[in-house]
């Protein structure tokens, strides 16, 4: 009789252990290994525990929907699950998935926008990072958005946010709307330039309005390759503007063409575009890129100089001239050096 009782106890223990083992197995990952494919899911606001479990199941992330739900309830996390965008894989266990969603550990991507990137280049960089559709981003980056955020009035011929998307390293949650990404980038421009440099400068010390400064800064960004020349190039361009001279910046023609050419042809220089500063005097209607802080600073406070011309050397530096005759001599000098 004693042996029979002991056998029953052992059998019950085996059943319990077997059930526990099955339960633990059901909470385990569907597949092991770091190379398991990852998926991006979107937990909508108001999604129930059952909704989330079903979503994970469709992405092959759960062995048992019931075990997932039981674990979330038993651990007190069922009521803490948060909406958002998450990166999941079949290599994650149910407890890992529950903890991630309960703590709101959303999937993010880091993207670096270099100084001088155009709106088109930014859109492409964001698309490569999986953060936005390039076409949708460009469509959302409107001049109206800039006006609404910065409370400024842009010229009627300006239609995009070009120039106001501050170059920086950003971290965005995957699935963030293009409008929110744009707002953050314009907000960074406001914080870094307007608040810290533009507003502290007395109005009487500003040679132009905000849009003119940003437009000039974008030209400096494309023309100056050496830090020490930025303010000097800004000074040359400002001098030409004040004298009614055409700026004749190659970078504006590149922008008008919509593509980069290693060397511009005479035909390129004749393109009929308000951005062609070989054809039209004054600044182009708007920025031709999104300048960094150093070029914005240079455009805000150009160097005081008598120079009216500059020509690029092969090393990225420039020869600056006061007269057209000096400029022609500098061009000959550069050509002779390149032919050696």
How far apart are the C-alpha atoms of 337 and 207, rounded to whole Å?
Answer: 37
Question: Could you give the CA distance from residue 179 to residue 150 in angstroms, rounded to a whole number?
Answer: 15
Question: Any idea where the domains of the chain sit in the sequence?
Answer: 39-106, 109-198, 206-339
| pLDDT score recorded for residue 21 | 81
Q: Could you tell me if 271 and 241 are in contact, meaning their C-beta atoms sit under 8 angstroms apart?
A: no
Q: Please tell me the predicted confidence (pLDDT) of residue 10.
A: 42
| Residues 184-225 pLDDT 10s | 999 999 999 999 999 999 999 999 999 999 999 999 999 999
Instruction: Quote the pLDDT of residue 19.
Output: 67
What's the CA gap between 134 and 115, in Å, rounded?
19
Query: Which pLDDT belongs to residue 13?
Result: 44
Architecture of the domain delimited by 109-198? 2-Layer Sandwich (3.30)
pLDDT beneath 50: ranges in the chain? 3-4, 6-8, 10-17
In the chain, the percentage of residues whose pLDDT exceeds 70 is 93
Q: What's the pLDDT score for residue 265? A: 85
> Which of the listed CATH numbers 3.30.70.141, 3.30.1490.480, 3.40.710.10, 3.30.450.30 matches domain 39-106?
3.30.1490.480
For 53-98, write each residue's pLDDT tens digit: 999 999 999 999 999 999 999 999 999 999 999 999 999 999 999 9
Domain pair 39-106 / 109-198, same fold = yes
Q: Is the dihedral of CA 58, 61, 62, 68 positive or negative?
A: negative
What is the rounded CA–CA span in Å between residue 144 and residue 314? 40
Contacts of 224 (CB under 8 A, 6+ apart): 230, 233, 295, 298
DSSP state of 316: S
Distances (CA, A) of 121 to 118, 128, 238: 5, 11, 27
- pLDDT the model gives residue 11: 42
């Amino acid at each position: 009789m004693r042996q029979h009782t002991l056998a029953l106890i052992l059998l019950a223990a085996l059943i319990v252990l077997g059930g526990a083992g099955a339960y633990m197995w059901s909470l385990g990952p569907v597949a092991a290994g770091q190379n398991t494919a990852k998926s991006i899911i979107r937990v909508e606001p108001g999604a129930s525990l059952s909704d989330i479990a079903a979503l994970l199941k469709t992405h092959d992330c759960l062995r048992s929907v019931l075990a997932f739900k039981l674990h979330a309830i038993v651990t007190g996390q069922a009521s803490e699950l948060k909406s958002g965008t998450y990166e999941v894989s079949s290599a994650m266990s149910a407890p890992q998935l529950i903890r991630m969603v309960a703590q709101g550990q959303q999937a993010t991507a880091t993207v670096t926008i270099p100084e001088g990137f155009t709106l088109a280049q930014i859109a492409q960089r964001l698309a490569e990072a999986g953060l936005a559709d390039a076409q949708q981003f460009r469509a959302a980056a409107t001049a109206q958005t800039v006006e609404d955020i910065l409370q400024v009035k842009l010229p009627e011929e300006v239609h995009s946010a070009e120039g106001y998307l501050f170059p920086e390293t950003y971290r965005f949650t995957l699935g963030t709307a293009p409008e929110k990404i744009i707002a953050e980038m314009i907000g960074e421009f406001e914080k870094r330039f307007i608040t810290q440099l533009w507003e502290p400068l007395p109005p009487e010390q500003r040679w132009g309005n905000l849009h003119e400064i940003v437009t000039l800064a974008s030209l400096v960004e494309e023309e100056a390759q050496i830090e020490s020349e930025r303010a000097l190039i800004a000074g040359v361009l400002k001098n030409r503007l004040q004298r009614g001279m055409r700026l004749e910046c190659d970078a504006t023609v590149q922008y008008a063409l919509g593509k980069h050419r290693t060397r511009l042809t005479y035909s390129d220089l004749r393109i009929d575009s308000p951005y062609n500063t070989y054809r039209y005097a004054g600044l182009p209607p708007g920025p031709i890129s999104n300048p960094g802080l150093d070029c914005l600073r240079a455009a805000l406070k150009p160097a005081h100089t008598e120079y009216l011309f500059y020509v690029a050397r092969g090393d990225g530096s420039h020869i600056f001239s006061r007269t057209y005759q000096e400029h022609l001599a500098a061009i000959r000098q550069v050509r002779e050096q390149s032919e050696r």
